[in-house]
Structure 1
Amino acid sequence: MSDETPVRLGTWPTPLEPAPRLARIVGLEPDDLWIKRDDLTGLAGGGNKVRKLEWTAGAALRQGARTLVTSGAPQSNHARLTAAAAARLGMDAVLVLKGSPPGVLKGSPPGAVSGNIALDGILGARIVWAGDVDQAGLGAVLDEVAEELRAQGAGPAVIPFGGSSVLAARGYAEAGHELLTQAPDLATLVVAMGSGGTMAGLVHALGADRVLGVDVGAVTDPGQVVSDFVAGLAGPGAPAAHALRLRRDQVGAGYAELTDAVTDALTVTARAEGVVLDPVYTGRAMAGLIAAVAEGDVRPGQRTVFLHTGGLPGLFGHTAAMARAQAAVTDSSTVHSRP
């Protein structure tokens, strides 16, 4: 069997659901807008990373690895699902995360462990805190940890940041073909652009003209990252970075910072369709979709699909988002007294 054969970790196909009330609110016709529910992939809270891990973790397993090692932000959805994939496959997981343990080290952020960090622990992952480092520094710590594990005979396999690589992008090339069987008249697919593998696989399957990526601020040159991954999949003839449909207007003050546009997107999606987004990825993607409709880049009368890439646990670890949620509860609360 080839090292590039995936192992199945999810439940496929994921549903494609209509969103008629949200469509009307954002300025589309009721039958225009649909949500591809990749938050319902069936492994430890779901999300888009499952499709990637089927390829990368599967290759690691067949190569004899016994430990999956990866890196990310403290509330990394990818780290949580790497831990889940390791558990499913009978492997260990080590997660190298930026920052310090909440409420444990002197000078670290106060507060209880929450969101994805709590799930990492439940899933049995060991967390190595890298401190206040940039992306290069995080990679250096990851390399050190992997080398220590090799010396210990732990059989580590490093899964790349965000789970994205040319191999991992094959998971979303598969997803693109899956979507075309559900929506053959697709005009635009809107997706959050984080580490690049998800958008790259979709561009490879659907073409650059049908995929609208919304940058979340995870990498410094998102267009080039996606273009390079697509080139790895397609070879010569892959679209250049400038040929991609990529919005960069929803990042705001930075990757972890909540904006008013994202707050509005979270609220309107939840109240129109009962679908909850997260403040970093899908919230930004929906804010980008709303802006694209307002500008005429996404138009009424055409089939538009929003890819829900998961991330709900991260909402509970996002201080600003939880504060907004608490304010919404307070504003809407009433006290009813029995006569």
Structure 2
Amino acid sequence: MFDDLPRAPLATLPTPLETAAPMPNSAARLWVKRDDLTGLGGGGNKARKLEFLCGDALEAGARSLITVGAAQSNHCRMTAAAGARLGLEVHLILSGDAPEPPGTETGNQLLSKMFGAQMHYTGAAESHWGQLEIAREALTDQLAGEGLAPYSIPIGGSTAVGGLGYAAAFVELIDQCEAADRMPSAIVFTSSSGGTHAGLLAGRAALIASGRLTADTAPDVVAIGVAKGVVMGLPDIAELADGVLDLMGVAARVDPNDIEVDGRWIGDDYAVPTAAGDAAVEWAAMANGLLVDRTYSGKGLSGLLGLAAEGRWSADDDVVFIHTGGWPALFA
């Protein structure tokens, strides 16, 4: 389903599937899919998307990459690393203001600078993604006029091309679960721009269409929404997932009833820490030796732990948490 698609080898795959410590207030068994260990630029889920996005960019003859994100965007950091690996100029459009004094970047911004990216600060609030996208379109036009052949990537890399990364990840995960003779009841992950979610659903639909899984045996795909847009239904996850399936050459469609986004763990807004998220960050570190960040994976893990405490799963259930990375933000 993926062999004939343009793809740049960027990620260290497959990532491990590991057992986690017993969850507080639940007897369900927790597994962690270590997509924080994808290798590229400090690791994280975006490496999977960028393999297909950069493959598409190279096939199109791109000489530069442009993308957008919050001030401590993991996606921007990893796009910068991908550009360094592939020899492409990278421009990052970021929320917030440039650090003062110059040269005091921290966390993901420090790493992006080390990878050679050019940083464009907009002054926009962390959650004002529309303002960032307008700036991306303007810079894309400017660089195209300068002959830099830009390949422009929306926030989070959440396009049908980017979603291919997590369709392939779903197949990889099922391979590992079958090898361990366990099929999870649910796959839980953090969602903000929807691309990881759409890719996982596309991979699930493809394996059901192939007969390898059935609708009854396939694990639930549970997104913990940490941005207001995805909680409100933007983007349209089913439409995006169907676009991924089209690229895969699979005639199946995603059932809208299979789309689950739990938005109870977002707190006040995107990138605003929560008490539950901070407790999950602490539990991951103290009980598992795992680093999860306060903006993204920590909130996602808090949602999983909250659902488990509510009794969503029993002692007979295996649950997989996709650890999408983000540890550099801890040092911001």
TM-score after normalising by structure 1: 0.85
1:145 aligns with 139
Deviation at 1:12, TM superposition (A): 0.9
Alignment pair present for 1:307 and 2:325 = no
Contact 2:187/2:219 (8 A) holds in 1: no
Bigger Rg, structure 1 or 2: 1
Secondary structure of the corresponding residue to residue 138 of structure 2: helix
- Which amino acid in the other structure matches residue 173 of structure 2? L
Distance 1:224 1:243 in 2: 16
Kindly report which structure 2 residues correspond to 1:248-267, keeping only aligned pairs within 5 A, or say none: 248-267=263-282
- Which amino acid in the other structure matches residue 187 of structure 1? S
Runs of 4+ with deviation above 3 angstroms: 220-224, 234-237
Contact 1:3/1:62 (8 A) holds in 2: no
Kindly report which structure 2 residues correspond to 1:1-339, keeping only aligned pairs within 5 A, or say none: 4-19=5-20, 21=21, 23-29=22-28, 32-104=29-101, 112-132=104-124, 134-184=128-178, 185-206=183-204, 210-217=220-227, 219-221=229-231, 223-225=233-235, 226-234=237-245, 237-240=253-256, 243-317=258-332
Gaps of 5+ in 1: 106-110, 318-339
Distance 1:222 1:167 in 2: 23
Contact 1:99/1:131 (8 A) holds in 2: yes
The 1:222/1:54 distance shift into structure 2, 3 A limit, reads farther
The 1:56/1:24 distance shift into structure 2, 3 A limit, reads closer
Percent identity (aligned): 38
Distance 1:121 1:95 in 2: 10
Deviation at 1:24, TM superposition (A): 4.2
May I ask how many residue pairs the two structures share in their alignment? Answer: 306
Distance 2:308 2:159 in 1: 31
Contact 1:16/1:182 (8 A) holds in 2: yes
Deviation at 1:217, TM superposition (A): 1.1
Contact 1:209/1:244 (8 A) holds in 2: no
Gaps of 5+ in 2: 206-217, 247-251
The 1:118/1:211 distance shift into structure 2, 3 A limit, reads same
Coordinate RMSD, CA, aligned: 2.0
Deviation at 1:147, TM superposition (A): 1.2
Secondary structure of the corresponding residue to residue 78 of structure 1: helix
Distance 1:232 1:261 in 2: 35
The 1:250/1:48 distance shift into structure 2, 3 A limit, reads same
1:321 aligns with none
Contact 2:220/2:258 (8 A) holds in 1: no
Distance 1:222 1:42 in 2: 33
Contact 1:55/1:170 (8 A) holds in 2: yes
Distance 1:175 1:222 in 2: 25
